[in-house]
Chain A
Amino acid sequence: MKGKPLVSIVSAGLSKFGKLEGLYAREIFAEAAKEAFDRCPNLNPKNDIQAMFVGHMGEAYEHQGHTGATMADWAGLLHIPATRTEAACASSGAALRAGIYAVLSGLCDVVMVGGIEKMTHRTTPEVTEYLAMASDYPFEQWHGITFPGLFALMATAHMHKYGTTEQHLAMVSVKNHYHGSLNPKAHMQKEITLETALSSRVIAWPLKLYDCSLITDGASCLILTRPELAKRYTDMPVHIVGSGQASDTIGMYEREGFTSLVSAKIAANKAYEMADLKPEDVNVAEVHDCFTIAEIIAYEDLGFCKPGEGSGLVEKSETKLGGGIPVNTSGGLKSKGHPVGATGTAQAYEMYLQLTGQAEKRQVGNAEVGLTHNVGGSGATATIHIYRRG
């Protein structure tokens, strides 16, 4: 299987990301599904799609569980088998992986994978509390630590060990806001200055408001099929050539270090090995910048640079559009937004656009190989996927 396509993406959909105050999650998911169906006239959704996996983190937001069936129902796909996957912020990265299992097992020819989260109708402290459910209950949440707090712990450890500065963190934010300003579906389509980022209100020092991703409503989905069937649906498929997923301790407190995510490193190695590719082969990547420090750590865990050198990559604009390896061309979680359950497949949606040349103003020239890095919680789950132009 080394280097061979595992599955092919033949279509993809993404709802508008933002504060969609009047809508229900299921309706937002239907918007993403409609785009995927409209992009692919050769697909007969009701007849062709044989299973659905949908990532969703929190039933607390809408007091609505049983997400698999709900989304299949609203996507007009009754009576297919539909299952929710939950892995905190990596819920739809896990859904994508489940879809790959389903196709590779031979059980399904065509599956839909996706994700959804509706968050903005709850207050920020409530959302903070719900998100904290992805950390350890007795020993992290009840020390009062929030997710910004956990990533701030990683940031102080990284700054202490490698000399990363608050400026470096702010540079990630400035870059991702610039990319987001080019994405019509991004939640916050505005550029910011380094000064804006640095002088924003502190959330969990050293992380400030502009170091944190957005609380966003949104949904995303992909249509996957066996590579040999891809041409039946589209002339421009994108192949998934590597898939890795790994877990780590649910509590950060038991990890040996706080400057790297072991789960991401393991998952990345698996994915690279499966794809028969190296970090330097990647032309464009979407990484899980739930907080700016997470993007810097991601560069290092993915092998885009050596441990401790992540800050240099952003400082030299290497990861900006036009640089050697543009990262988070969609605007990332920072600017496009982070509807947690939808994020994994929303990253894959960006890869689909980039590798089929449909990313418009943010298109990376000659993008051949892409990578997505989706992290759950403080790194207890990581899913990495590698994509190749079909």
Chain B
Amino acid sequence: MKQPGPEKVLKEQKIDEKWWDNWIRKGGWRPEGWKIIEMNDGPTLNNLRPEKFLIVHRPHGNMFHHSYGKTSKFFMGLLEGKLYGTKCPKCGLVYCPPRAHCFNPKCRLEETKWVELSKKGEVHAHTVMAIAWPSMAHLQPLVGAMVRIDGTNTCLPMTMRDIDPEKVNIGLRVNIHIEKQPKGDLLDVYATPAEKPKAPKRTPEELKRFREDMEKTRAWVKKTFGK
């Protein structure tokens, strides 16, 4: 009988081994600095007294190697500019994000089949993010949307481009794109409007605030990242 594994590398985008140099130089992640602080502490709020504490600054980082598991084909598809989902052969549900097994209780974890999807869809919910993971901070204000790709039964979260953040609305038809130089994660996928967007209802005061907020965010990004 066949056993799972062993692995063999079919194709690779190698990481620059120098990535590690900084960390290795830190010498086993011993503290790089420290501070002594004083703060009020005590067993109850009525018994607080100033106490001293030592705080160290310790380098602590890693390169996270992980598999996309049975949904890998979706991400391999991105590397080739294609959008894949999965379909349950029993109940016909189409998943994107893909699931390797159908979660419809009637289907008892039936294995799904891969299908190529259209690059059109519709916005089901949206936001404009002005706080993001450190690696994405320069992209703010970042329009995030739940997009139902035509022919699927779920929504794929993705970012939106070429749209004024104030115009994003539920029901907007969108075209879905994949980055020209994909990296192999969901940020390779983005949507642009496929029709003239109709902004959600806002009072003049709300609109004024919204625009000020966007201006503040853009100014912060410019100050922090210089673009």
Contacts and interface: CB of A to CB of B under 8 A. Distances in A.
Contact of B131 (A22, A35, A148, A206): A148
Interface string A1-21: 000000000000000100011
B100 interface: no
Nearest to B67: A138
Interface in A110-155: 121, 124-126, 128-129, 132, 136, 138-146, 148-149, 152-155
Interface stretch (B4-12, B15-23, B139-147): B139-147
A246 interface: no
The number of chain A residues touching the other chain, given as a range, is: 35 or more
B170 A149 contact: no
Nearest to B93: A254
A150 to B, nearest CB: 8
A251 B99 CA distance: 11
B91 to A, nearest CB: 14
Contacts of B139: 144
A249 B97 CA distance: 12
* Most interface-central of B103, B144, B185 (chain A CB within 10 A): B144
Interface string B22-61: 0000000000000001010101110000011101000010
B127 A156 contact: yes
Interface residues of B, number: 56
Interface in A162-189: 165-166, 184-185
Contacts, number: 156
Nearest to A34: B43
A254 B134 contact: no
Interface string B124-143: 11111111111011010110
Nearest to A35: B44
A232 interface: no
B200 A148 contact: no
Nearest to A258: B125
B60 A22 contact: no
17 contacts: A16-B45, A21-B53, A22-B51, A129-B133, A139-B186, A142-B187, A144-B132, A145-B144, A149-B127, A157-B170, A160-B169, A160-B170, A202-B141, A202-B214, A205-B129, A205-B210, A207-B127
Interface of A: 16, 20-23, 31, 34-35, 63, 121, 124-126, 128-129, 132, 136, 138-146, 148-149, 152-157, 159-160, 165-166, 184-185, 198-199, 201-208, 249, 251-254, 258
